[in-house]
Amino acid sequence: MTEKVQKATDFIRARIGEQKRLAIVLGSGLGGLADALQDAITIPYADIPGFPVSGVASHAGALMAGHIEGAPLLLLAGRVHYYEGGDAQAMAVPIQTLKALGVETIILTNAAGSLRKDVPPGSASLITDHINFSGLNPLIGAPGNERFVDLSDAYDPALCARFRAAAKNSEAELHEGVYVWFSGPSFETPAEIRATRVLGGDLVGMSTVPEVILARHAGLRVGAVSLITNYAAGMEAEELSHAMTMKVAATGADNIMKLFKAIISDLNANPL
Ligand code: HPA
């Protein structure tokens, strides 16, 4: 463990009490989960040694500990994106710190554009695999053979199955697809979206993939869900903007909250 991670771990452990096995990273539009957190202890990233602070409006930037549906968990409200400072390793310390704190499973969420007409804005989609279109990798420069991480089952198949069951049981709508990471911050071009479709992508976004790679490197079990905020570039006349991302995210909030309450309580009752 690096000194940075040790310091962050000690700092957080002294403040959050009992160990948490589950952590959820909240992307754009998933803030409702933070509101649902009971016995919440909130620690701003700015206070945690080594934690990066996001500059994106709507990404709060705090680690929260508490309970949802009686289940203990950590929430990372906000994340730093590659496009903010050009650092693909921006989330390395937070993710390694979760592992050091005893977290076993991390669920990443994000806002994404949909390439599929049958997956409209407002819907939720399980990420079953990814394509790293950025060409970047957060493990470049990492030491040792551990850096050659196997990503064959990066999106844990057992956790994916639990998500499908949780969606069914809670009557939440859950699509699934392959997420393609573009660095952003500009949106994609229509030609890039046509290329992405040919390559087998269903969703596009500007986050998550570096964290998935870091989390698998750290030995965490990974799941990921996108909240669809728009059809991808060129599919509709409407202009793409962050404001629209936030507006549409709100329309899908009820469905995704239902889904997350169900999976949180299921993972607590029957740990993987
Ligand atoms: N592209 C990239 N990132 C996004 C999109 C998109 O269409 N929508 C929300 N985040």
Output DSSP code: residue 30.
-
Around Cβ 209, how many Cβ atoms within 10 Å?
30
* Nearest alpha carbon to residue 182 among 191, 171, 172, 170: 191
Distance 112 CA to ligand 1 centre (A): 4
Residue type (1 letter), 39: D
- Is residue 151 a contact partner of residue 213, using CB atoms and an 8 Å limit? yes
Length in residues, the chain: 272
Residue 140: DSSP 8-state: T
Conformation bin of residue 227: beta by default, left when phi > 0, alpha when psi is -120 to 50: beta
How far apart, in whole angstroms, are the C-alpha atoms of residue 94 and residue 51? Answer: 6
List, in sequence order, every residue forming a beta bridge with 113; answer none if it has no partner: 204, 230
Pick out the chain residues at pLDDT < 50: none
> Of 47, 42, 5, 69, nearest to 267 (Cα)?
69
Rounded to 10 deg, the angle between the 253-269 and 157-170 helix axes is: 120
Residues having CB within 6 Å of any atom of ligand 1: 111-113, 182, 187-188, 204-206, 229-230, 232, 240, 245
Architecture of domain 3-269 in CATH?
Answer: 3-Layer(aba) Sandwich (3.40)
pLDDT tens per residue, range 36-72 = 999 999 999 999 999 988 766 655 689 999 999 999 9
Ligand 1: residue whose CA is nearest its atom 6: 113
Pairing between β-strand 38-44 and β-strand 62-68 as defined by DSSP bridges: antiparallel
Q: What is the 259 CA–ligand 1 centroid distance (Å)?
A: 21
Radius of gyration of the chain (CA): 17
Q: Specify the residue for token string 């030609």.
A: 191
Nearest Cα residue to atom 7 of ligand 1:
113
Measure CA of the first residue to CA of the last residue in the chain; give whole Å: 25
E strand or H helix that includes residue 120: none
Cα 81 to chain centroid distance, Å, stands at: 11
Pocket test for ligand 1, best of 28, 182, 202, 206 (most atoms within 8 A of CB): 206
CB of 129 closer than 8 Å to CB of 47: no
Are 121 and 248 spatial neighbours (Cβ–Cβ below 8 Å)?
Answer: yes
Ligand 1 atom with the smallest distance to the CA of 230 is: 8
CA of 230 to the centre of ligand 1 (A): 7
Ranges of each domain in the chain: 3-269
pTM across the whole model: 0.95
The helix or strand, by DSSP H or E, that contains position 250, with its residue range, turns out to be helix 242-251
pLDDT of residue 255: 92
CA distance to 110, 151, 170, 249, per residue, from 30 (Å): 8, 26, 18, 8
Top mutation candidate among 127, 188, 227 for ligand 1, by most atoms within 8 Å of CB: 188
Q: How far is the CA of 47 from the centre of ligand 1 (A)?
A: 30
Residue 224 and residue 105 in contact, taking contact as beta carbons nearer than 8 Å: no
Q: Contact at 8 Å (CB) between 67 and 56? A: no
